[in-house]
Structure 1
Amino acid sequence: MLSQARPPPGGRLGVAEPRGAVHGAPFTTNSPLVAGENDQQIHRTSNFQQQQPLAGSPMDTVSPAPPRAQAVGSFPVRTPGSPPPVISPSQPSSGGFLASHALSRPPATHLTYSANDPSTAPDCCTSFIATLRSSSGIPAFLQFVAAVLRECCIPTSGFPGLPTSRQFSDLSGSVPFAPQPPSRSFSALLESPSFSSTPASQQPQTLHKTSCFMQPPPRMYGMSRHPTNPASQLSNTIGQLPSSGSQGSSPLMIDPDQIPQPMPSSSAILFETTPGSLASIPPPTSSDFIVKDKGNCSPRLMRCTVNQIPCTGEIRLGSNMPLALIIVDFGESGPLRCSRCKGYINPFMKFIDQGRSFICNLCGCTNETPRDYYCNLGPDGRRHDADERPELCRGSVEFVATKEFMVRDPMPAVFFFLIDVSMNAVETGAAAAACSAVSQAIADLPEGPQTLVGIATFDSTIHFYNLKRNVQQPLMLIVPDVEDLYTPLHSEIIVQLPECRQRLEQLLENIPTVFEKNRIAESAFGAAIKASFLALKPTGGKLLVFQSVLPSVGIGSLAVREAEGRANVSSSNNASQRLLQPIDDTLKVMAQELAEFQVCVDIFVTTQTYIDIASISVIPRTTGGKVYQYYPFSALSDSVKLYNDLRWNITRPQGFEGVMRVRCSQGLQVQEYYGNFCKRNPVDIDLPAIDCDKSILVTFKHDGRLQEGTECSFQCALLYTTVYGQRRIRVINLSLPCTKLLSDLFRSPDLDTLFACFLKQAANGIPSSSLSKVREQMTNFCINILYSYRKFCAAVPSSGQLILPEALKLLPLYTLALIKSIGLRTEGRSDDRSYWINHAASLSIALTIPLVYPRMLAVLDLASKEHGGSIIPSPIPLSSAHITDDGIYLLENGEDALIYVGNTVNPDILQQVFGSHSIDHIPMPFTLQKYDNDLSKRLNDVVDEIRRQRSSYLRMQLCRKGDPSEDPEGLSYVEFLVHIHQQIQTKMA
């Protein structure tokens, strides 16, 4: 079974090559590249390798000036002693090209509400919700869908005096929202003088500074329109909501089609990164777009919460919007630097005095141009060679680092596998699944002397294996003392992959048999990591740990804090709040030592019991790693996902020994970093490993005043080592105009980045605050932003109208989804909540919204509809009004997927999809099979395409109507809008 899980050479199991994968040779020292006209990448086109941080503050080291860049597509040979070439990360080397032009993720699903009389809403809502929680272990995130799907039934117990049915219009004009007689139709309301007669779809709408490959794209949320009326330019009037003092008994009618919803886009967009004052709002991450680098970096690398920077801190505080960057992927820095702030040369530095000097765009310092970098200026004030040098005309570039950036030679890429072989791991099949996954995954590691591997197992003792000696069987070396640790000779247990591949594969095949009758239930998890660290200490590298039970002996042993791991976490219980914090500092101190010596730890939790993720996750979070959870683990259904996750982990674009610093213009300063890293000084963050799936949030604050009409620059520089042993520096630049008008701020926010900032800050605050307090804080963030807009920017005659900025009209919907997510729900396992917190901390922007607002597809539509050339059909709203008892539905959030089956589905359809005429006869645990019929093949194609888009092998779960569930709680979307409006009215009073 496991042997059949092996993927084809070009990609992951059963799916195409992940987005951002590159066909062609990797970057080499002798192949400098220049950014092409179309930056089509999502992830970095180069692979990483370990890198060693420099002593003290390595990013302050000044290196020699770079050579003149080569023309696009040229591949000069670098001679010994010549300066380092400049490399742009925008295109692959050797003429390689990206696998696909369709780069971004499908749009989020629509959330709609039942109209008119709520008594017509299906009372099966709760019964459908009941299918979403299974006592056999459906992932806790799916319980969130239950809360979302309840919205067609609108309880009003939380709002005394509110009518039971409402209807409103989301038209472009100012639309009153007043009580209407129930007999009056919505079409009749549109004909009244109070309503705009022009539908929103017919309003003039323009996508700012973008163009389309095929046809003009629809306007997307987050992008400004350009009417002359300031109010209509910025806002969407939701309608006349009842004020807190005017609640009457007349019913309000709600038109679900007019509530702000995510709008899908099927057109590919060409987005030009116009610099400075011409900077435009980047497309949403859910849209398909290709980037043309014209000075600012690609929005896939760095995005700002607002695209016009407030001149003062008072203006920012007035908007209630945070000023923050989300930095995705890895990068490095360049040779020519500012002598004061050490910023790297970029397109926004201004050359003066005929090119003899240049002014730093970050600190304003005037620097002398090095003699070998001098070039005359043209009549327009630009250097004659500006278009020939990538660092002077591209927003993101890479440089090959010189010796000045190294305290030691680049280290090889080391992958060390640590497998739990305790009794529980053996009996559940977790140990055998881990061995099989490692055996298959190492086949995809690059050959050569720069790739080293090692392996160890553990229960109550630690077992290393000598892979170097030329013997028929690898020699087992046992470390019995888990308190006073030592490790065998480094050169014998960590060896070059080509040298030991055959013996390693044989060892992995034998380990399950050797420990088949192991009766030792204890786990020396902390001691095993410590001993493995001693082996990796000379070189650094990646430590991949497979853990099945709670650590119970040796260093870092833990006690069961939650009764068998099944107790619910209540937001009102201070003791349960402590379950989300590490039990002590033992593992935290160990994690800091691991990070200091460039060891990154990833933990694969293959358990069926409580394992205290809150405590063990501190290690990967500090070392730049990640926690993978498979609960409850099933060898039958989870082995393939375990292998795919491991394979992607070790083969994705990544690098080692990273040191990152973010700089900004005078008047701003970095306030805080959020993500998975180790911070040992105030300005740099250490990244033992960094990859294309992680992002870092950087918040800023004002420490001075910015001048209106000028530009504010941000620069991220990261020094790292590729998997091929090359030290590189990547520089990412972003320059945005400054403004002193609040209306400009509300015209230019990036909703995706703003919401990602909210989510990461919420995840960071959950362990130290009560859940009710975090939920209230997230709600207040949304209310305060909309209140600021209503108070300072909106010009409407009635205070009873709820007005949303055009770019932020979906903010209430996503805020409500966040509040109902597993991280903030009142009930749930502490391990599930801790996993959610750690997953959200480093999540990329593109996966942030799907995490809390999943996508739902109708499976039966796959066989009957064309989808405009797309494999994945348009999503359907997350509403039980769109669910039928004879339908099958697929829900996914980028990590897990749920297939819901109604109770009256045609038996022939069940036979086509599941191979059985009865839902009761489908084998459990469930695995999706491919059968010889059109519907099954299309469903598998859709799942494979989602896995390719998400770069994640979705864990499938089957859900039937009638499965046990919890009752839904919280507000519906309409109730939440009413609540927000009432709070704004209260603040306005």
Structure 2
Amino acid sequence: MSNQAQQLPPGWIAEWNAEHQRYVFIESATGRAQWELPGEGPNPEEGHNMMPPAEFASPPQPHSTSAAHTKRRQYALGASPQFADAGVAPGGQLFTPGLAADGQPPYFAPPDLSQGYPHPQPSYGQQHALQPPYTGSQPVAQVADQFSQMAIHGQRPFSLVTTNLIGMLADPRELSQTSPEIRLPPNASISPNPSANADPSYMRSTLNAVPATSALLNKSKLPFALVLTPHRSLKEGDETIPVVSDTVIARCRRCRSYINPYVQFIDGGNRWKCCMCNMSNEVPQLFDWDQEKNQPADRWARSELNYAAVDFVAPTEYMVRPPQPPVYTFLIDVSHAAVQSGMVATATRTILESLDRLPNRDDRTKIAIICFDVALHFFSISPGSTESSMLVVSDLDDVFLPKPNDLLVNLTESRAGLEALLARIPEMFQESHAIGSALGPALQAAFKLTTAIGCKIIVLTASLPSLGAGALKNREDPKILGTISVDMFLFSPSYTDVATLNHLPHYTSGQTYYYPAFSAARPIGFEGIIRVRASKGLRMSSFHGNFFVRSTDLLSMPSIPIDQSYVIEVQIDDSLTAPFAVFQTAVLYTSCEGERRIRVITLALPTTNNLSELYASGDEIAIATFLSTKAVERTLTHKLEDARDAITNKLVDILGTYKSSMTASGRGASAQLAIADNMKLLPILSLGLLKHVGLRQSAQIPPDLRAYAQALLSTLPSQQLIPYIHPSFYSLHTMPPEVGTIGEQGVIMPTPLPLTSERLERHGLYLIEDGQTIFLWVGRDAVPQLVMDVFNLPSYAELRGGKATLPLLENSFSQRVNAVIAKTREMRRGVYRPYLSWALSALIQDRADQAPSYAQYLTQLKDRVNAATS
């Protein structure tokens, strides 16, 4: 090695790694390493490849001290290997960890909200500036010179582009564009994997650059919060979260953060430095060992070092007892109103069809069924039998369980009896004339039945709770919290007091589903707790969503449903000096299969002292989600008008500060309304909130419908919330011939239109959908052939409004329309199908009732901003 080392630049040595069949070049002074392919070598001074001496063209001989090295594999300070198949671009150019092949930071794209929309084009009728790509791309050699700096000035700045909102038509296609990219400093991550930072569908921030001081954040008037959806549904093509099953979990001794792609390895790889608190921790002995193959493993291939979101299989020390079996208790309203509406028959049939989809991998799942009207109806089922007996309890003041040991049955052992019972329940109560609902006592009975092990209570009711204790009262009992989770399915054709009933799902981390005027297997986690950690100087200050706060920063969740979001506000307590900050969400839960797991999601964001970079990093989707949650929360303590004013006031604050700080007009009146280009759709999203059924000013909105809408506004994840407040609007009668056919990305979708009635034609066919409901609007002058091709009716006069199933006919137009509708349902992750009655209210750019049009709203904002900055 002496002759070989002499041909390297001073201070560098080379060592052959037999496992990866390549040389490791190590700078002896700093421990910085560069992994190379056989036949290639580095120029440490230049930072790029050069041809190595001839001696390096083949591996060392067996007698070489390097080849005979048997000690624990050493890793250089803060470095990661460059793999042959992932680290070298065509032609041999190296990737830099955390950089793409062109030397630019990796692009972390959030999910495509439109699922097949055409590529966004400049806005309708106007060419306006989109944020240009960064043009300061540097060769890898130049980037390498900056590796040692690792400071804020070593990263590429955000490009701030200002847009004038006045006269700009909001292009709905731009809602599907990505949020501002996360521009981390070079080598921030030890992995080149683009999945090393959190996907926005799991965890996103209102700001993609963290202000270094609270003063900078306060000056910007921008909100700083995280939007979490730790368990979201996956559709075809989505990447699943990797599972670390060897139970080797490395955590910081001080802050208890989990090891992730943003730590540093020190002391020859024997220790790792926490990216949150800088504590030095020992690497677990089995971290580099493959327990299945019983041989050394490649550290750099471990999922927790390459992926921002991972599931750890928890060892026994994470459990106070073995995981409880999944338990489901169905409470079915069998009052006269519920039976007559068809809800009882539909509910029992759906439960019956869903038995195979309930989690029951180890045959431990238990089920109970309780029916209620003016009394409680329990059912005792004998294992292995198809027979069941009904036990009626009419004492609603002192609820008791008639046969405590026989009401909760094993799904596998009592399958035949459950199926027979579910088939008979509609017949049992078909002649019922009971008027009244003992929902409160039924909930008390379910709690008594399952309090020892916890359960998921699923309520299916179609009438106002009116009998017994707990009816129409806030049942926020601290003794129940943390053990029971309640889902509400509300089918009533009349007033049900959704606002009050929603308290149960809210505090037990359940969900509410509302089906007004109803007419005739989702994965879930149990026993969950959530904690969010952040880099030193950052603190989680407020929590919003369906859960119970057990301590100052620990969220208790008896169940963790999919596609439910939580908003957490962040406070800056101390100035940040590091070049980037890290947030980490840890969810300890029991999976459907009864396995205790820890889901860890890590998000790294650069820090900045620059106000323009802060504005350029604003994520309008996350900010709209934050405003939605805060507005709904405000309705609980203030008037609806105050909630609407809070949205507009926040927008005025942001626009006013932006005008005075970032534009030439500064103080005084201006004909323009300026905002950062990356937040140009925030005003129309805010207007969508103001006009939404959950918040808008109207005396025509039933209280139950408004309460349900508010429940969705405060819990929907961003990918469902945005279409809920800014619906999609398609013209079907003018769609090109390829729309509705299969393309490279699946069904080709129409181009979305601006949400204004100006686009409606009297002879047209339009589709409006808000992620919850799909409307077809047919113009009065629609030609008979269109009506026949789509609805199989002779003319417009034969059409009837209301809910309907669209027929699939033997013509290409019908098949294409059905394909578009099917794709629309597929691309929404939600499971809701409620009925709404205001289709045209989705056209939020129009003036409606006392709410302004979009143009009028922008003018109002401009006037208020001018007044505030004059």
TM bucket (normalised to shorter chain) is: 0.7 to 0.9
Q: Is the 8 A contact 1:763 1:841 kept in 2?
A: yes
**Cα distance in structure 1, aligned partners of 2:839 and 2:618:** 41
1:806, distance to aligned residue in structure 2 (A): 1.0
| 2:329 is the counterpart of 1:416 | yes
1:421, distance to aligned residue in structure 2 (A): 0.2
**Cα distance in structure 2, aligned partners of 1:461 and 1:724:** 35
Q: Structure 2 vs 1, CA of residues 320 and 924 (structure 1 numbering), >3 Å: closer, same or farther?
A: closer
What secondary structure sits across from 1:697 in the alignment? strand
CA deviation string 1:456-485 (max 9, x = no partner):
111111111112355443111222222212
1:843, distance to aligned residue in structure 2 (A): 0.6
Q: Structure 2 vs 1, CA of residues 664 and 794 (structure 1 numbering), >3 Å: closer, same or farther?
A: same
Q: Structure 2 vs 1, CA of residues 274 and 654 (structure 1 numbering), >3 Å: closer, same or farther?
A: farther
| 2:788 is the counterpart of 1:900 | no
**Cα distance in structure 2, aligned partners of 1:204 and 1:503:** 63
1:764, distance to aligned residue in structure 2 (A): 1.3
| 2:691 is the counterpart of 1:820 | yes
**Structure 2 counterpart of 1:588, from 468, 476, 483:** 476
2:58 aligns with none
Q: Is the 8 A contact 2:288 2:299 kept in 1?
A: no
Q: Structure 2 vs 1, CA of residues 519 and 966 (structure 1 numbering), >3 Å: closer, same or farther?
A: farther
What secondary structure sits across from 1:860 in the alignment? coil
1:972, distance to aligned residue in structure 2 (A): 1.3
What secondary structure sits across from 1:940 in the alignment? helix
Unaligned runs of 5+ in 2: 1-74, 76-82, 84-109, 138-155, 232-240, 290-295
Kindly, what percent of the aligned residue pairs are identical?
A: 31
| 2:455 is the counterpart of 1:541 | yes
**Cα distance in structure 1, aligned partners of 2:570 and 2:647:** 19
Q: Structure 2 vs 1, CA of residues 270 and 310 (structure 1 numbering), >3 Å: closer, same or farther?
A: closer
1:355-754 maps to which residues of 2 (within 5 A)? 355-373=269-287, 385-448=298-361, 449-489=363-403, 491-558=405-472, 584-585=473-474, 587-589=475-477, 592-597=478-483, 599-635=484-520, 651-707=521-577, 710-754=579-623
Q: Which piece of structure 1 moves more, 750-759 or 898-907?
A: 898-907
Q: Structure 2 vs 1, CA of residues 682 and 955 (structure 1 numbering), >3 Å: closer, same or farther?
A: closer
**Structure 2 counterpart of 1:781, from 634, 650, 661:** 650
What secondary structure sits across from 2:599 in the alignment? strand
- RMSD, aligned α-carbons: 3.7
2:147 aligns with none
| TM-score between the two structures when normalised by the length of structure 2 | 0.75
2:229 aligns with 328
1:672, distance to aligned residue in structure 2 (A): 0.9
Q: Is the 8 A contact 1:302 1:328 kept in 2?
A: yes
**Cα distance in structure 2, aligned partners of 1:916 and 1:372:** 70
1:372, distance to aligned residue in structure 2 (A): 4.8
2:861 aligns with 980
1:299, distance to aligned residue in structure 2 (A): 2.0
1:911 aligns with 788
Q: Is the 8 A contact 2:160 2:615 kept in 1?
A: no
CA deviation string 1:866-903 (max 9, x = no partner):
46834321112211111011112111101112222211
**Structure 1 counterpart of 2:164, from 226, 230, 237:** 237
Q: Is the 8 A contact 1:237 1:802 kept in 2?
A: yes
**Structure 1 counterpart of 2:213, from 312, 316, 338:** 312
**Cα distance in structure 2, aligned partners of 1:107 and 1:209:** 32
**Cα distance in structure 1, aligned partners of 2:516 and 2:182:** 43
**Structure 1 counterpart of 2:624, from 749, 755, 764:** 755
**Cα distance in structure 1, aligned partners of 2:429 and 2:802:** 25
Q: Which piece of structure 1 moves more, 895-904 or 793-802?
A: 793-802
**Cα distance in structure 1, aligned partners of 2:448 and 2:595:** 25
**Cα distance in structure 2, aligned partners of 1:971 and 1:347:** 48
Q: Structure 2 vs 1, CA of residues 386 and 236 (structure 1 numbering), >3 Å: closer, same or farther?
A: farther
1:338 aligns with 252
1:958, distance to aligned residue in structure 2 (A): 8.7
Q: Structure 2 vs 1, CA of residues 516 and 616 (structure 1 numbering), >3 Å: closer, same or farther?
A: same
**Cα distance in structure 2, aligned partners of 1:806 and 1:504:** 58
Q: Which piece of structure 1 moves more, 812-821 or 353-362?
A: 353-362
Q: Structure 2 vs 1, CA of residues 866 and 897 (structure 1 numbering), >3 Å: closer, same or farther?
A: closer
Q: Is the 8 A contact 1:272 1:292 kept in 2?
A: no
2:710 aligns with 837
Q: Structure 2 vs 1, CA of residues 873 and 105 (structure 1 numbering), >3 Å: closer, same or farther?
A: same
Q: Which piece of structure 1 moves more, 535-544 or 312-321?
A: 535-544
Q: Structure 2 vs 1, CA of residues 705 and 231 (structure 1 numbering), >3 Å: closer, same or farther?
A: closer
| 2:19 is the counterpart of 1:105 | no
Unaligned runs of 5+ in 1: 1-67, 73-100, 113-168, 172-185, 187-197, 211-228, 240-253, 281-290, 376-382, 559-583, 636-650
Q: Structure 2 vs 1, CA of residues 109 and 354 (structure 1 numbering), >3 Å: closer, same or farther?
A: closer
**Cα distance in structure 2, aligned partners of 1:956 and 1:763:** 21
Tell me the number of residue pairs that the alignment of Structure 1 and Structure 2 aligns: 710
CA deviation string 1:431-451 (max 9, x = no partner):
112112111222333455132
Q: Which piece of structure 1 moves more, 434-443 or 326-335?
A: 326-335
What secondary structure sits across from 1:433 in the alignment? helix
Q: Is the 8 A contact 1:170 1:236 kept in 2?
A: no
CA deviation string 1:104-128 (max 9, x = no partner):
434899999xxxxxxxxxxxxxxxx
| 2:801 is the counterpart of 1:927 | no
**Structure 2 counterpart of 1:939, from 799, 817, 828:** 817
2:828 aligns with 950
**Cα distance in structure 2, aligned partners of 1:936 and 1:170:** 30
Greater gyration radius = 2
Q: Structure 2 vs 1, CA of residues 805 and 764 (structure 1 numbering), >3 Å: closer, same or farther?
A: same
CA deviation string 1:110-165 (max 9, x = no partner):
999xxxxxxxxxxxxxxxxxxxxxxxxxxxxxxxxxxxxxxxxxxxxxxxxxxxxx
Q: Structure 2 vs 1, CA of residues 839 and 959 (structure 1 numbering), >3 Å: closer, same or farther?
A: closer
1:653, distance to aligned residue in structure 2 (A): 3.0
2:39 aligns with none
CA deviation string 1:515-571 (max 9, x = no partner):
11111111100110110122222322211110111111112123xxxxxxxxxxxxx
Q: Is the 8 A contact 1:665 1:712 kept in 2?
A: yes
Q: Is the 8 A contact 1:344 1:731 kept in 2?
A: yes
What secondary structure sits across from 1:351 in the alignment? strand
What secondary structure sits across from 2:254 in the alignment? coil
**Cα distance in structure 2, aligned partners of 1:464 and 1:436:** 19
Q: Is the 8 A contact 1:108 1:853 kept in 2?
A: no
Aligned partner letter, 1:678 = F
Q: Structure 2 vs 1, CA of residues 785 and 756 (structure 1 numbering), >3 Å: closer, same or farther?
A: same
Q: Structure 2 vs 1, CA of residues 488 and 278 (structure 1 numbering), >3 Å: closer, same or farther?
A: farther
1:47 aligns with none
Aligned partner letter, 1:507 = L
Q: Structure 2 vs 1, CA of residues 232 and 601 (structure 1 numbering), >3 Å: closer, same or farther?
A: closer
**Cα distance in structure 2, aligned partners of 1:427 and 1:311:** 62
Which one has a larger percent helix, Structure 1 or Structure 2? 1
Which is bigger in relative contact order (C-alpha 8 A, separation at least 6)? Answer: 1
What secondary structure sits across from 2:815 in the alignment? helix
Q: Is the 8 A contact 2:211 2:607 kept in 1?
A: yes
Aligned partner letter, 1:311 = A
What secondary structure sits across from 1:661 in the alignment? strand
Aligned partner letter, 1:853 = H
**Cα distance in structure 2, aligned partners of 1:803 and 1:680:** 43
**Cα distance in structure 2, aligned partners of 1:373 and 1:980:** 56
